[in-house]
Amino acid sequence: MNKTLEKLYKPNIVKWALNSWPPFWGSGIKIESISEDFREARLRLKLRWWNKNANRSQYGGSIFSLTDPVYSLMLMGILGRQYYVWDKEASINFIKPGHSDLYAEFLISQAQLDAILVATANGDKCFPEFIIHVKDKQGDVVSEVHRKLYVRKKPKYRQESDYQTDNAA
């Protein structure tokens, strides 16, 4: 993320931009909320005639899309321009058909954030993992999505960090 994007990277702007992004609105995905500190988000997948499968339930690709790239974007908002944050891998377990709008909540705890910061402090890569339970409007779990991210300080910040560590000793 560059300096200009970092200035614009605020929860309300990210929410507006993603809700306007064709892959999201075309799939019926809507960001309902993002907390001011980027640690919580809630998304909805609206059941529409064009995202139903042959069995008249939510299309699996739309359910999977509901969870992409939310954790990456949240961590980008928290960590800022000093870090690379990318999705590395993901898998989905379909538990039952989704016959209604579906919801996903994304949370990043302080413990998770602390673990990422410690693991990347010296420029090392970190691969945090998150599990998202996609639920129907009754609160029943429809699918479980496992996401692994790649987080690492950008080279110029790794050098500053090493320099600061050397000078502190």
pLDDT per residue as tens digits for the range 105-125: 999 999 999 999 999 999 999
Closest of 105, 92, 100, 18 to residue 61, by C-alpha? 92
Confidence (pLDDT) at 3: 72
Handedness of CA 91, 96, 98, 103 (dihedral sign): negative
Question: Do the Cβ atoms of 87 and 132 come closer than 8 Å?
Answer: no
Confidence (pLDDT) at 69: 92
Q: What percent of the chain has pLDDT over 90?
A: 80
Residue 150 has pLDDT above 50, yes or no: yes
